[in-house]
Amino acid sequence: MNMPTRALILTTLVACALAVPGVAADRVSLTTIDAKLDDLLAVVGADGSNVVTIDKDCAVVTGCHAGDAPGYPVTTVAGQSYRLTSDLDLTATPDLDAVLLERDTTLDLNGFRIFGGTTCTDSPATCTSAGIGDGITGGEGARVMNGSVVGVGAVGIRLRNGMQVENMLVTHAGDDGMQGQCQGCRIIGNRVIENGDRGIHTAFASSQGALIQGNTVAGNNFVGIDSCERCMHLDNVVFSNGGFGLRNLGLGGSAYGRNTFYDNNAGGDQVESGGVEIAPNVCSGNTICP
């Protein structure tokens, strides 16, 4: 919150308190109310909504709410909603994550970027990592949407069980674009392009039941989508990745349909054997997959 806005709120609160019969002036002070205001803003946004805003200044200088210390990573409160109002720049702190999400939080990037200094060239990508920090580290049941994670040192978005990730661009991460144990996740409508290892990596113990749908996964250094047990893959376009377009279907019970795969795995098999093909897929121009 900028200082003029904060001063206006504090002055108004004092005036309201003094207008109440029986409230003595010596019992009300800006200092007292200022301390309580930070507690309020931990769960209520500075604009009066139930959304807490995050910008580059509060991330680095002041902290974005009570309990969030200045500097990266920005921390969150379980169950709260957050919205970016500026880009977040990790180039000076490449070994730190940008945002740590607690359980059941929502992060709306609002069209803004989290970006670092990792650079990638070619397709499949070859990346020079700038550090070991992640872009966003998720909490169970968290939701991430509507923005970009670009050039972070390690993983673009670190997944957790029950997360939903939608309408994100994740590119030029030094490691996987998205990675993590992802039971019951929904990964929908994202672009995961030219990252330093896999595009979407959910092949972990106890990862199962994820829906991976409508994503463009392209030009990543290794596998496009490294899948999970009993997961569903629909309507994805997966191309020019260094390994299989879709792998680990053989973990058990996974299914795929209406996907398009081409130019993965140096022109070899596009999909690793296994899984259940529930609807036609296109692999390198025909419907014979893998």
For residue 2, what are the domain limits?
Answer: 1-41
In a domain, 174, yes or no: yes
pLDDT tens track for 98-110: 999 999 999 999 9
The predicted pLDDT at position 1 comes to: 47
11 shares its domain with 61: no
Residue 201 lies in a domain: yes
Same domain, 65 and 26: no
pTM: 0.85
Establish if 290 belongs to a structural domain.
no
Where residue 136 sits, what CATH number does that domain have? 2.160.20.10
Q: What is the pLDDT of residues 212-225, one digit of tens each?
A: 999 999 999 999 99
Shared-domain flag, residues 70 and 16: no
Residue 29 lies in a domain: yes
Same domain assignment for residues 84 and 125:
yes
Query: Span 142-155, mean pLDDT?
Result: 99
Whether 10 and 79 map to the same domain: the answer is no
DSSP characters over the chain: --HHHHHHHHHHHHHHHHTSTT--GGG--HHHHHHHHHHHHTTS-TTSSSEEEE-HHIIIII-SSTT--SSSSBP--TT-EEEESS-EE-TT-TTS-SEE--TT-EEE-TT-EEE-S-EEETTTTEEE---S--SEE--TT-EEEEEEEES-SS-SEE--TT-EEEEEEEES-SS-SEES--TT-EEES-EEES-SS-SEE--STT-BS-EEES-EEES-SS-SEE--BT-EEES-EEES-SS-SEE-GGGTT-EEES-EEES-GGGS-SB-S-SEE-S--EETTBS---
Domain count, the chain: 2
Task: Assess whether 69 and 9 both reside in one domain.
Answer: no
Q: What is the pLDDT of residue 23?
A: 47
Q: Would 288 be classed as within a structural domain? A: no
Residues 175 and 271 in one domain: yes
The answer to whether residue 86 sits within a structural domain is: yes
- Flag whether 289 is in a domain: no
Say yes or no: 218 and 128 in one domain.
yes
Mean pLDDT for all residues in the chain: 89
Asked if 159 and 94 sit in the same domain, the reply is: yes
Indicate if 139 and 269 belong to the same structural domain.
yes
What pLDDT, in 10s, does the model give residues 111-144? 999 999 999 999 999 999 999 999 999 999 999 9
Asked whether residue 177 falls in the same domain as residue 34, the answer is no
